[in-house]
Amino acid sequence: MSRPESRGAQQARAIAEAGGVMSHRQILYVIFGLMAGMFLSSLNQTVVGTAMKTIADDLDGLSQQAWVTTTFLIVSTVATPIYGKLSDIFGRRPLFLIAIVIFLGGSLLCGLASSMLELAAYRAVQGLGAGGLMAMPLTIMGDILAPRERAKYQGYFLAVFGVSSVAGPIVGGLFAGADAILGITGWRWVFFVNLPIGIVALAIVLRFLHIPHTRRDVRIDWFGAAAVVLAVVPLILVAEFGRDWGWGSLEAWICYVLSVVGVVLFIVVERALGDDALIPLTLFRSQTFSMATVLGVLVGFGMFGALMTIPLYLQLVNGATPMESGFLMLPLIVGLMIASIASGQFIARTGRYRIFPILGTIMLAAGFYYLTWASYDRPAWFLMGGMLLVGLGLGQLMQTLTIASQNAADARHIGVATSASTFFRQIGGTLGTAVLFSVLFSRIPDTLKAAFEEPQHQRDLAAATQDPAVLADPGNTRLLELLQGGDSGDIGSALNGDTSFLTTADPRLAAPFLDGFATATVTVFWVSFLVVLVAVVLSFFLKTPQLREKSALQERHAADQVGPAVPDDDPTLLAQQAADAAAPTIDPGPAARDR
């Protein structure tokens, strides 16, 4: 007696019998589960960043906090393409479930950490799950929706990204500011809050994510994965620590050499494995995929640069708290959501998307150019105009470049194409964050020196330091110590650590510091502008073939019905065709011809 089919098997069979077509209701249920998973990953990054100083103080490990971020970043980045490839082999559902479970386990361990080194190790576990949470949702979308329809739904995911960007600093600030919640130290809830959200995501995915999958017998590219580790890990390490080591130090050069060796080995291994490769090099034969990848790196550079430097500017120069800076970032989020929804609807109706990479990069560049006019004495609302332009640009680019990459790959490689797109965008973001922060802090000593030489600042400082009320105010103590010390080195490094003293100090004393930091940040905006300007030029060379009308599920179902496709240049096929052409033709006779 055969066992009865499970509900999931029944749903998967029903989708297969329908030719890979899912109903609108089935699609929405799947999307809700994917959104919950993506919300876990995106919220985690902003919440932890806001609470990190409080965590480091409590665990007495301020000097080790960089490793907490770096281990997460390394593991999640490396894991992204691996999830994509394994999901092509074993199916999306098991890999997505594994990613959620690993992420929840890592979150639980992080909340129980008793030292910064423990927390760094547990963040690596969390990062292993986060790599799947970042790669799998867009991959699954590529399965269940045709590229033309996909744009209409991807606005939901960008909305999740926007909400988490605003909610993260608020939630992180609330947890970090609480001594205890339900008898547990407040900052630990930064990690524990993932558990209920993740359990909901897990339940939705278990219940509704049932996609037909045909198991393929292929080799798992372990050597390619090892080569990715060798190429990416040194790159991230030097990006995170290069400013402290020195970009020309022995440690930095070792990382450079190892990264280059990793890239060379990766190319050799991937070429040898062909379609079984972790990231098949055949994908890069498509001009669309290659150009979308390059644009993704540049956009990631600009996007992460904006998301990291603008909140810092708002907090230091405009005196906003982490929670307030989250609210002040709303124009960027609103612009991102408006542009993504509008472009998605246009793409769904017309199937054309060439205009959006061009218009998006132009708006992104215009936003950064606008921000170069920022100064310490301008109000926060001035920056909001630039944020809106940046958001409008990103909203047209993020989903369009992913759709272009997916549309350029065949159904068998939809997972690896999507994860590769995400992977290279993360690499661009990592490089952008490292380069821009290096530019920022290397410029600060010079811009502070120039600010203190401004005649107006000198007059204001002279008046403030002779005012008895200013001298008696404890909020001015730190600044007065710096000024009375007269050591240009101390003043130059004053903005490298705790800058909370600027918010309580007399405005006349703080002005040169704020002016110097604002000027240094403007240099960062110039660098971002020039990088994105390259993307503007390249966007005109992005080929945009008509979007396919069928989802990857439908295409795979159709291929299964007719048997495996054989490439036109397959040597076995060409040999058979040549043999058929050379074979003598035998007349079957009139009786056979009449039949």
Question: Residue 181: phi, psi to the nearest 5?
Answer: -130, 120
- Extended beta strands in 449-536, E state: none
The residue-averaged pLDDT of 204-217 equals 71
d(CA 260, CA 275) in angstroms, rounded, equals: 23
Q: Are 433 and 531 in contact (CB under 8 A)?
A: no
Tokens, residue 195: 């558990």
Could you state, in order of their start, the residue ranges of all structural domains in the chain? 1-216, 222-276, 446-521
Question: In this model, does residue 575 exceed pLDDT 50?
Answer: no
What pLDDT was estimated at residue 392? Answer: 92
The three-state DSSP-derived secondary structure of 161-210 is HHHHHHHHHHHHHHHHHCCEECCEEHHHHHHHCHHHHHHHHHHHHHHHCC
Query: In percent, how much of the chain has pLDDT > 70?
Result: 79
Query: Which of the two residues, 119 and 585, has the higher pLDDT score?
Result: 119
Range from 244-258, 351-365, 457-471 carrying the lowest mean pLDDT: 457-471
DSSP state of 413: G
Number of Cβ atoms within 10 Å of the Cβ of 403: 29
What pLDDT was estimated at residue 572? Answer: 43
pLDDT tens digits, 418-452: 888 888 888 888 778 778 877 887 788 888 888 88
Question: In this model, does residue 125 exceed pLDDT 90?
Answer: yes
What pLDDT was estimated at residue 101? Answer: 93
Question: Residue 257: phi, psi to the nearest 5?
Answer: -65, -45
d(CA 159, CA 342) in angstroms, rounded, equals: 13
Residue among 251, 247, 246, 254 nearest 230 (CA): 254
Query: Which of the two residues, 293 and 436, has the higher pLDDT score?
Result: 293
Q: How confident is the model at residue 373 (pLDDT cuts 50, 70, 90)?
A: very high
One-letter amino acid at 564 equals P
d(CA 178, CA 187) in angstroms, rounded, equals: 7
Q: How confident is the model at residue 587 (pLDDT cuts 50, 70, 90)?
A: very low
Query: Which of the two residues, 76 and 6, has the higher pLDDT score?
Result: 76
Q: Which of 163-172, 242-251, 253-262 has the highest mean pLDDT?
A: 253-262
Query: Which of the two residues, 127 and 480, has the higher pLDDT score?
Result: 127
Question: In this model, does residue 242 exceed pLDDT 80?
Answer: no
What pLDDT was estimated at residue 558? Answer: 62
Query: Which of the two residues, 328 and 173, has the higher pLDDT score?
Result: 328
Query: In percent, how much of the chain has pLDDT > 90?
Result: 13
What pLDDT was estimated at residue 332? Answer: 85
For helices 147-177 and 380-408, the axis angle rounded to 10 degrees is 140
DSSP state of 438: H
What pLDDT was estimated at residue 3? Answer: 56
Residue among 71, 88, 83 nearest 131 (CA): 83
Q: How confident is the model at residue 160 (pLDDT cuts 50, 70, 90)?
A: confident
The residue-averaged pLDDT of 386-414 equals 84
Residue among 317, 336, 327, 322 nearest 388 (CA): 336
The residue-averaged pLDDT of 475-497 equals 62
What pLDDT was estimated at residue 578? Answer: 47
What pLDDT was estimated at residue 573? Answer: 39
Question: Residue 277: phi, psi to the nearest 5?
Answer: -65, 155
pLDDT tens digits, 148-159: 777 677 667 767
Q: How confident is the model at residue 568 (pLDDT cuts 50, 70, 90)?
A: very low
Q: Are 361 and 397 in contact (CB under 8 A)?
A: yes
* Residue-averaged pLDDT of the chain: 78
What pLDDT was estimated at residue 592? Answer: 40
Question: In this model, does residue 258 exceed pLDDT 70?
Answer: yes
Question: Of the CATH numbers 1.20.1250.20, 1.10.150.20, 3.40.50.970, 3.30.465.10, which one belongs to the domain with range 1-216?
Answer: 1.20.1250.20
Question: In this model, does residue 184 exceed pLDDT 80?
Answer: yes
